[in-house]
């Protein structure tokens, strides 16, 4: 049975978006005044506008990553000849369908900064040669002639592959055979190469450059691990939603268990990379590197450490047990917590660099999150309803269906 | 219910084997006599090992002044060799634990030998910090024992001490994991032995294994626990090795990407060594039906993948060395690429980043000769990687008056060659007296992935759209159905229980 995007669900998702929008607007009107006089060290007045743009950028990147993670995961499943995940392939494809809009928003928000609309990226407003020797040194990397073509190229490549996979998937339903499958296999390997470089490079461009003086070689992989995790969590929640509607009967508890394993394992991967980056910078104690953590730990100790410990401890303790990984309630609770605290992770990557000590999570930020959640989920469900819920003719479908007893 | 493999998967066991064939094939080397080639290679490895032991004793007797170290380069070949061997050791645990979690059935043909390789490689690795201490008879000082040494407690802030813990844990768990897996197979060998002395030895090694249901149940449980323990160890060991360097403030050493990048590099070099060994072993011990071209292809793909990850890390380091604007970091990388050790850097880049890209071609992935050559090239490249990281970062330090070069002495080289000899001595002995394939485990996948009837046709023609039903599975003896069912269930049980 296929998924039907009922009016009720439409109302709920749009309702979430509208409530988010209202909160967001309320936040702008009533909660934003104290930031009106925020002045940066370089004498630039951020104005009350900065906080709005930071929240929009945080959400655009967060939801863009969810789509991108699914695109990566589908390619990975092809390249690794995986069968169990075939039963969820349409779910992954639906989630990646929001990538074009989210990628466009990310690009748009950065472009607004380029023309002076906000001051998130310090380098966008820096005149080369006016005294900041680090930015002078990096001038080439941040020059529009280099920055924009690179960013557009990778975003465009991701966009292209989203369309490619979604189109091929329907075609395989009709055509059958294995010709398309092997074509997808080859394309996936190619995509993974682009992704391998692209995910790191765009992370430097859109996130690491907020703290324009700071650098860390691990940063790209660290961001990637969190993104992959959140993508898997969103997919798991969607699968549980579909199961609760009595759909997706092809997937057994074992398949859900496999999703739970990914949540568990990727939480460890994220923690491992967080720790590796943090510990090495803390241990070596080089001022150029520690600035990043000083800004976060000194000014936002509870938010930052809370984010780390909960992102580590909750999945570890709650999902350690095998039965918990197939328990829908446990997965939903842990999944929601992961989404909240990884949203804070992304927020903490951007805000301290963009707003110094003045960042906080108020109704403005909460509203913007729900605004994006509503829109994102609406797009995903619409895409999901537009085609059969389970693929046909995938060469691994039979094996994947029966792999769990 | 029977797990039906997708038709497009190639069989993992060729030649329409029966269960008995598997036992016969695996036990043949143990029961037969070694040929003259084995004795020749063993003799050669033994001579190298003796030469190495001589050099080690000379080092211990005279002191590490006999190495090429100097006041600027205090770490060179010894630590390079240490990291190289530890890295090689990673493949065994990855295959036996991580690939188990990912339900990769092809691991079963190679896990036994890969784990043996891990254990021998870690032994070789552990030698180097030991002899580098100079006074190896005081090696126990690295352990936090209650002592009378006053302030000479181990420094818990030092990653070198973490290394002691990480590697000894890794070695213990790997050894136990390997041995547990061997117990049922030792029992199979024991039951076939005729001569009393070998029978006695194998029966002691088999721990009185009788193969009853209770034994299998315990076996599965303990294997799961050990797999769960071993998986984090795959990551922790080389991460901590990388911290030996990355916690410092030396340009070229201190970089945050080191832990995951070292792990990728370790798996990369480990699989290369597994391939080197397996390509010889499958030929000499006639195991081509079990370690098939598909197995080799999978290993080559992992080499390509991890090689590319290492490549991304190299380029990230280069980029950030420039991007950071830190002059010392920038100089360290300029010096690597264009300084007096440019040739080592060029060798590392060619062997590790460029050569694995050949694996994109299916023809090359499945070509035994090219694969063998590439596996050795990768091992050479990974040795150079460690040499580049270690020596080029310290031979030109902050004080230009102490800039110098490192020149290895014959003792440096002798110890290194000696460990290669010793490694092969151990591996060659292992291949004569141990069941080199997890024969009881391989039997559990025979029905699902063996080359029978329909499966055989499918392996060459992908587009045929027949229904594959168990009844068509051909030659598999019907009487084995029940045992096959139970082992299949056990396997799914095992997957379910993971983590």
The structure's pTM equals 0.91
Instruction: Determine whether the interchain pair A189/B360 forms a contact, defined as Cβ–Cβ distance below 8 Å.
Output: yes
> Using CA atoms, how far apart are residues B270 and B375, in angstroms rounded to an integer?
10
Q: Are B222 and B182 in contact (CB under 8 A)?
A: no
Q: Which two tokens stand for residue A348?
A: 């903490």
Does residue B299 contact residue B273 with C-beta atoms inside 8 Å? no
Pick the closest to residue B233 from B127, B103, B89 (CA basis).
Answer: B89
Residue from B233, B237, B316 whose CB has the most chain A CBs within 10 Å, to mutate? B316
What is the structure's pLDDT at B308?
92
CB B377 within 8 A of CB B353: no
Of A141, A197, A281, the CB nearest to B256: A281
Chain-chain contact of A398 with B324 (C-beta, under 8 angstroms)? no
Instruction: Establish how many alpha carbons lie within 13 A of residue B234's alpha carbon, considering only the half-sphere containing its beta carbon.
Output: 24
Q: Which chain A residue has its CA at the smallest distance from B490's CA?
A: A405
3-state helix/strand/coil string of B258-325: HHHHHHHHHHHHHHHHHHHHHHHHHHHCCCCCCCCHHHHHHHHHHHHHHHHHHHHHHHHHHHHHHHCC
User: Of B235, B248, B114, B112, whose CA–CA distance to B166 is shortest?
Assistant: B235
Tallying the residues shown for chain A, one arrives at 405
Give the pLDDT of residue B10: 83
As for the ipTM of the complex, it is 0.92
* Cross-chain residue pair B256–A399, CB shorter than 8 Å: no
Nearest CA to CA, how far is A402 from chain B (Å)? 6
Please, where are the H alpha helices in A80-143? 89-96, 99-114, 133-137, 139-142
DSSP string, B389-410: IIIIHHSS-S-GGG-------H
- The nearest CA of chain B is from the CA of A375 a distance in Å of 35
Rounded to an integer, what distance in angstroms lies between the CA atom of residue B99 and that of residue B106?
A: 9
Q: Which residue of A has its CA nearest to B497?
A: A322
Residues in B closer than 8 angstroms to A126, CB to CB, are: none
pLDDT of residue A405: 56
- pLDDT < 50 regions, chain A: none
How many pairs of residues across A and B have Cβ atoms under 8 Å apart? 118
Confidence (pLDDT) at B492: 42
Distance CA B190, CA B30 (A): 11
| Residue in A with minimal Cα distance to B257 | A218
Per-residue pLDDT at B141: 82
Do A178 and B8 make contact, defined as CB atoms within 8 angstroms? yes
Distance CA B77, CA B128 (A): 9
Q: B283 and B38 in contact (C-beta within 8 Å)?
A: no
CA B478 centroid distance within chain: 38
Between positions 469 and 498 of B, the ones with CB within 8 A of A are 489, 492, 496-498
Strand ranges, E, within B56-105:
none
Q: What's the confidence (pLDDT) of residue A213?
A: 93
Q: What is the pLDDT of residue A39?
A: 58
Considering the domain B19-145+153-458 in this protein, what is its CATH number?
Answer: 1.20.1630.10
Alpha-carbon dihedral sign for residues A167, A173, A178, A179: negative
Residue by residue, DSSP assigns A61-92 as HHHHHHHHHHHHHHHHHHHTT--GGGGGHHHH
Distance CA(A171)–CA(A387), nearest Å, equals: 12
Cα separation, B440 vs B125, in Å, equals 31
Q: pLDDT tens string for chain B (499 positions)?
A: 355 677 788 888 888 888 888 888 888 888 888 888 889 999 999 999 999 999 999 999 999 999 999 989 988 999 999 999 999 988 888 888 888 888 888 888 888 889 999 999 999 999 999 999 888 888 888 887 776 666 667 788 899 999 999 999 999 999 999 999 999 999 988 988 888 998 899 999 999 898 889 998 998 888 888 888 888 888 999 999 999 999 999 999 999 999 999 999 999 999 999 999 999 888 888 888 889 899 999 999 999 999 999 999 999 999 999 999 999 999 999 999 999 999 999 999 999 999 999 999 989 999 999 999 999 999 999 999 999 999 999 999 888 899 999 999 999 999 999 999 999 999 999 998 898 888 888 888 887 777 765 454 444 434 333 333 333 333 333 333 333 334 444 444 444 444 3
Task: Give kind and range of the element (H or E) at residue A11.
Answer: helix A7-26
Q: Please state, in angstroms and rounded to a whole number, the distance separating the CA atoms of residues B116 and B127.
A: 17
| DSSP structural state of residue B13 | B
CB B137 within 8 A of CB B207: no
Nearest Cα of chain B lies from the Cα of A356 at a distance, in angstroms, of 21
Which residue on chain B is closest to A225 by alpha carbon?
Answer: B260
B460 touches chain A (CB under 8 A): no
Structure confidence at residue A38 (pLDDT): 58
Residues from chain A that touch B1, judged by Cβ atoms under 8 A, are: 402, 405
Which of A264, A276, A288 to substitute to test the interface with B, most B CBs within 10 Å?
A276
The whole-number pLDDT of residue B469 equals 38
- Closest by CA to B300, choosing from B354, B235, B374, is B374
So where are chain B's domains?
A: 19-145+153-458
Per-residue confidence (pLDDT) for residue B127, from 0 to 100: 92
Q: pLDDT value at position B35? A: 82
3-state helix, strand, coil in chain A (%, to 5): 80, 0, 20
């Amino acid at each position: 049975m296929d998924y039907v995007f009922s009016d009720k669900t439409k109302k709920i998702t749009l309702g979430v978006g509208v409530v988010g929008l209202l909160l967001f607007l309320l936040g702008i009107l009533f909660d934003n005044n104290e930031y009106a006089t925020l002045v940066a060290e370089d004498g630039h007045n951020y104005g009350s506008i900065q906080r709005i743009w930071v929240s929009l950028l945080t959400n655009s990147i967060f939801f863009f990553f969810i789509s991108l993670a699914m695109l990566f995961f589908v390619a990975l499943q092809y390249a690794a000849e995986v069968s169990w995940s075939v039963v969820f392939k349409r779910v992954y494809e639906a989630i990646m369908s929001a990538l074009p809009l989210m990628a466009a928003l990310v690009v748009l928000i950065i472009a607004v900064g380029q023309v002076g609309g906000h001051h998130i990226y310090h380098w966008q407003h820096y005149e080369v040669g006016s005294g900041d020797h680090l930015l002078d040194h990096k001038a080439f990397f941040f020059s529009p002639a280099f920055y924009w073509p690179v960013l557009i190229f990778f975003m465009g490549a991701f966009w292209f592959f989203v369309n490619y996979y979604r189109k091929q998937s329907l075609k395989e339903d009709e055509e059958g055979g294995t010709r398309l499958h092997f074509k997808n296999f080859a394309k996936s390997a190619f995509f993974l190469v682009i992704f391998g470089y692209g995910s790191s490079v765009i992370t430097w461009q859109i996130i690491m450059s907020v703290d324009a003086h700071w650098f860390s070689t691990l940063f790209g992989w660290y961001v990637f691990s969190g993104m992959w995790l959140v993508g898997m969590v969103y997919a798991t929640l969607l699968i549980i939603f579909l199961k609760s509607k009595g759909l997706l009967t092809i997937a057994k508890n074992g398949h859900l268990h496999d999703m739970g394993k990914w949540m568990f394992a990727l939480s460890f991967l994220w923690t491992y990379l967080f720790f590796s980056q943090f510990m090495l910078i803390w241990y070596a104690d080089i001022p150029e590197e520690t600035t990043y953590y000083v800004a976060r730990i000194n000014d936002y100790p509870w938010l930052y450490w809370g984010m780390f410990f909960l992102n580590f401890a909750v999945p570890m303790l709650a999902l350690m047990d095998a039965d918990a990984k197939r328990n829908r309630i446990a997965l939903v609770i842990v999944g929601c917590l992961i989404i909240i605290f990884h949203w804070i992770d992304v927020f903490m990557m951007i805000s301290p660099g963009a707003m110094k000590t003045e960042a906080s999570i108020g109704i403005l930020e909460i509203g913007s999150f729900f605004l994006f959640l509503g829109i994102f989920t609406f797009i995903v469900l619409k895409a999901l309803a537009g085609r059969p819920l389970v693929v046909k003719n995938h060469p691994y479908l039979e094996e994947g269906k029966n792999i769990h007893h | 219910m029977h797990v039906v493999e997708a038709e497009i998967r190639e069989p993992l066991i060729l030649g329409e084997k029966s269960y008995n064939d598997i036992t016969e094939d695996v036990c043949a080397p143990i029961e037969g006599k070694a040929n003259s080639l084995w004795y020749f290679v063993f003799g050669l490895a033994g001579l190298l090992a003796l030469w190495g032991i001589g050099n080690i004793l000379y080092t211990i007797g005279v002191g590490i002044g006999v190495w090429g170290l100097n006041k600027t380069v205090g770490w060179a070949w010894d630590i390079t060799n240490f990291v190289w061997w530890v890295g090689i050791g990673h493949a065994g645990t990855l295959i036996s634990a991580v690939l188990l979690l990912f339900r990769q059935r092809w691991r079963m043909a190679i896990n036994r030998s890969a784990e043996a390789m891990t254990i021998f490689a870690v032994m070789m690795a552990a030698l180097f910090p030991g002899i580098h201490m100079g006074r190896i008879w005081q090696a126990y000082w690295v352990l936090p024992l209650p002592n009378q040494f006053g302030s000479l407690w181990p420094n818990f802030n030092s990653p070198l001490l973490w290394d002691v813990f990480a590697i000894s844990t890794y070695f213990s768990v790997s050894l136990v994991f390997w041995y547990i897996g061997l117990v049922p197979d030792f029992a199979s060998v024991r039951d076939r032995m005729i001569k009393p002395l070998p029978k006695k030895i194998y029966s002691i090694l088999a721990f009185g294994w009788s193969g009853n249901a209770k034994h299998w149940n315990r076996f599965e449980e303990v294997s799961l626990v050990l797999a769960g323990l071993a998986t984090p160890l795959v990551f922790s060991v080389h991460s901590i090795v990388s911290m030996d360097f990355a916690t410092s403030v030396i340009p070229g050493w201190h970089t945050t990407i080191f832990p995951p990048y070292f792990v990728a590099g370790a798996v990369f070099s480990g699989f290369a060594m597994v391939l080197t060994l397996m390509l010889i072993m499958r030929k000499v011990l006639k195991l081509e039906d079990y370690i098939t071209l598909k197995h080799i292809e999978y290993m080559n793909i992992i080499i390509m993948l991890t090689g590319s990850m290492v490549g991304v890390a190299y380029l990230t380091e280069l980029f950030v060395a420039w991007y950071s604007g830190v002059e010392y970091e920038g100089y360290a990388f300029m010096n690597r690429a264009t300084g007096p050790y440019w040739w080592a850097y060029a060798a590392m880049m060619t062997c590790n980043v460029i050569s694995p890209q050949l694996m994109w071609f299916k023809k090359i992935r499945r070509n035994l000769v090219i694969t063998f050559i590439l596996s050795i090239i990768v091992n050479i490249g990974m040795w150079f990687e460690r040499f580049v990281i270690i020596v080029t970062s310290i031979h030109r330090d902050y004080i230009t008056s102490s800039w110098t070069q490192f020149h290895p002495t014959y003792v440096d080289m002798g110890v290194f060659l000696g460990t290669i000899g010793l490694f092969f001595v151990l591996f060659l002995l292992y291949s004569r007296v141990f069941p080199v394939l997890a024969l009881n485990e391989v039997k559990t996948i025979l029905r699902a992935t063996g080359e029978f009837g329909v499966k055989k046709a499918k392996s060459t023609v992908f587009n045929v759209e027949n229904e594959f039903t168990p009844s068509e599975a051909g030659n598999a003896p019907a009487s084995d159905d029940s045992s096959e069912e139970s082992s299949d269930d056990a396997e799914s049980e095992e997957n379910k229980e993971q983590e």
